[in-house]
C-alpha cells in the first residue's frame, strides 16, 4: 500500500536548526503548497525526477502557531518526491534553542505543514546526537543519531537536553526531565500527585484507560511562562510551578485531555475540550475536599470572564477565552443544579461518538435534562 511519507534529518548548529525534509507522495502532484516558520531560510527545494520552480507567495499565522511563510512548488511533470533543505531559528511559543535545551514543536511550524495530504508515516533523525538526550527518542550509537517518531505519539515534538546538565526524577508512573535545581522540589512531589489524579480519573470519573508511562520535560529557565501541552505519553511543561496548587492544576488539567479531546480544536468547538478538562480538574478538587485549590482556579475565571466574546462565533473561528467562558458556564450550571450534573456532562462528552456542541447538547437534553441543555445553548451565545 502506497503511503505519504515525511522523513526529516535534523542537526542543531549552535542555536539554529539545519533541516533536510523529504516528502514522498502517495499520488503525484504538479503543484504543492506548504508552510514553514517565517524565520527559516530555504536553501533549496528539489524533485527526484525533474526540475521544479518554487516561490514564497505570502505570509499568514495559522491557528495556534506562529507567523509562517507560504511556499508554492510547481513542476511541469508530476512530483513524486520533494526534498526541502532549510536553516534558521524557530524560537517562539513552546520552542527554544539554547546551549542546554532544544525544544521544537508543531506550534512553531519548524517542519513542512499544511500539505495537501495527510502524513501516513514519519520519522525524525537527529544527527550528531552524542551530546544530547532526546525525550522519547532512541539512540543509535553506531550512527551517532537519535531516531524519533513512527510509534503512535506526536512525532514532531523534539525536546533535547544536553546530557552534561540533565537531571531526572522517575517512578513507576512518570519520568521528569529538567536542568534547573529549582525544579527538584516539585519534581519529587509530582509522582504522588499524579498517581492520586489518575486514580480518580480511572476509577471514578471516566471510563478506565491504560495510560503509558508519562514523560514530563520541563524547560525552565529557557522559558519561564506559558503552561504546557499534553500528547500521548508526553506532557510538555515550562516548569512545575512555584506552589502545590499550580502543580496539581497543571497535572490534572493536562492529564484530563487523555479523555477530554476530540472536538475541533481549531474552531469554537474547542470549548468542549478545554471546559471538560478544566472541570475534570475541578471535580478532582471537589472530591478531594481541596476547596482552596477549587477557588484558586475558578475565582480568576469568574472575575475576567466578561472581557471575552461569546463562545460560539458566526464564522466558526476559535475566539479568545473559550477556556474561561466554558469553565464559568459549567460553574453556573454547577451552582444552579449540582455536582452530579457536571460529572454527567463531563463524562458524557468523553463518550460521544461525534464530539461537537450539537451532539453534546442532544446528549445533555436526553440524559440529564432539557433545562440543563437550555442553559448551555444560552451560555455559548452570551
Condensed to tens digits (0 to 9), the pLDDT of residues 6-22 reads: 999 999 998 999 999 99
Residues in contact with 253: Cβ distance below 8 Å, sequence separation at least 6, in sequence order: 277, 278, 280, 281
CA–CA distance from 4 to each of 20, 73, 152 (Å)?
Answer: 17, 17, 16
- What fold characterizes domain 167-256? Zincin-like (3.30.2010)
pLDDT in tens, 46-57: 887 666 889 999
For residues 207 and 245, is the Cβ–Cβ distance under 8 A? no
Superfamily, domain 5-162 = tricorn interacting facor f3 domain (2.60.40.1730)
Write b or e for each residue in 366-378: b if 16 or more Cβ atoms lie within 10 A of its Cβ, otherwise e: eebeeebbebbee
The pLDDT score that the predictor gives to residue 152 is: 60
What's the pLDDT at 1?
A: 58
What pLDDT is stored for residue 75 in this prediction? 87
Residue 168 CB partners (closer than 8 Å, separation 6+):
175, 176, 177, 178
For the chain, residues with pLDDT lower than 70 are 1, 49-51, 152-153, 242
Unique residue bearing C-alpha cell 508554492: 72
Domain extent listing, the chain: 5-162, 167-256, 270-381
Give the integer Cα–Cα distance in Å for 109 and 149. Answer: 17
Residue 273: its pLDDT value, please? 97
d(CA 64, CA 108): 9
5-162 and 167-256 share one fold: no
Model pLDDT, residue 223: 85
Question: Strands 138-140, 5-13: parallel, antiparallel or unpaired by DSSP?
Answer: unpaired
Distances in whole angstroms, Cα of residue 329 to Cα of each of 240, 259, 365, 375: 28, 20, 16, 8
Amino acid at each position: 500500500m502506497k503511503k505519504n511519507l515525511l522523513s526529516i534529518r535534523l542537526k542543531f548548529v549552535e542555536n539554529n536548526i539545519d533541516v533536510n525534509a523529504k516528502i514522498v507522495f502517495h499520488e503525484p502532484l504538479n503543484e504543492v503548497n506548504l508552510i514553514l516558520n517565517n524565520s527559516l531560510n530555504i536553501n533549496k527545494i528539489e524533485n527526484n525526477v525533474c526540475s521544479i520552480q518554487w516561490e514564497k507567495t505570502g505570509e499568514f499565522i495559522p491557528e495556534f502557531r506562529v507567523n509562517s511563510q507560504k511556499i508554492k512548488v510547481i513542476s511541469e511533470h508530476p512530483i513524486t518526491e520533494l526534498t526541502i533543505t532549510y536553516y534558521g531559528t524557530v524560537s517562539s511559543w513552546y520552542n527554544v534553542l539554547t546551549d542546554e535545551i532544544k525544544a521544537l514543536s508543531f506550534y512553531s511550524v519548524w517542519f513542512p505543514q499544511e500539505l495537501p495530504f495527510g502524513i501516513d508515516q514519519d520519522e525524525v533523525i537527529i544527527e550528531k546526537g552524542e551530546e544530547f538526550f532526546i525525550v522519547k527518542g532512541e539512540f543509535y550509537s553506531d550512527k551517532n543519531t537519535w531516531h524519533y517518531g513512527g510509534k503512535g505519539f506526536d512525532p514532531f515534538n523534539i525536546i533535547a537536553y544536553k546530557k552534561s546538565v540533565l537531571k531526572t526524577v522517575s517512578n513507576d508512573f512518570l519520568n521528569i526531565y529538567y536542568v534547573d535545581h529549582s525544579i527538584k522540589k516539585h519534581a519529587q512531589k509530582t509522582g504522588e500527585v499524579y498517581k492520586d489524579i489518575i486514580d480518580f480519573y480511572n476509577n471514578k470519573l471516566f471510563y478506565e484507560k491504560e495510560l503509558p508511562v508519562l514523560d514530563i520535560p520541563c524547560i525552565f529557565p529557557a522559558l519561564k511562562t506559558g503552561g504546557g501541552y499534553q500528547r500521548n505519553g508526553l506532557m510538555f511543561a515550562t516548569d512545575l510551578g512555584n506552589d502545590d496548587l499550580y502543580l496539581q492544576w497543571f497535572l490534572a488539567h493536562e492529564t484530563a485531555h487523555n479523555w477530554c479531546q476530540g472536538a475541533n480544536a481549531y474552531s469554537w468547538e474547542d470549548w468542549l475540550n478545554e471546559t471538560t478538562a478544566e472541570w475534570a480538574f475541578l471535580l478532582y478538587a471537589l472530591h478531594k475536599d481541596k476547596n482552596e485549590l477549587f477557588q484558586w482556579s475558578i475565582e480568576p475565571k469568574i472575575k475576567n470572564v466578561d472581557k471575552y466574546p461569546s463562545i460560539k462565533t458566526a464564522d466558526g473561528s476559535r475566539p479568545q477565552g473559550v477556556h474561561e467562558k466554558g469553565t464559568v458556564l459549567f460553574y453556573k450550571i454547577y451552582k444552579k443544579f449540582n455536582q452530579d450534573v457536571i460529572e454527567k456532562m463531563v463524562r458524557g462528552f468523553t463518550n460521544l461518538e461525534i464530539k461537537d456542541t450539537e451532539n453534546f447538547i442532544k446528549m445533555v437534553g436526553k440524559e440529564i435534562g432539557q433545562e440543563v441543555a437550555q442553559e448551555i445553548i444560552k451560555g455559548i451565545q452570551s
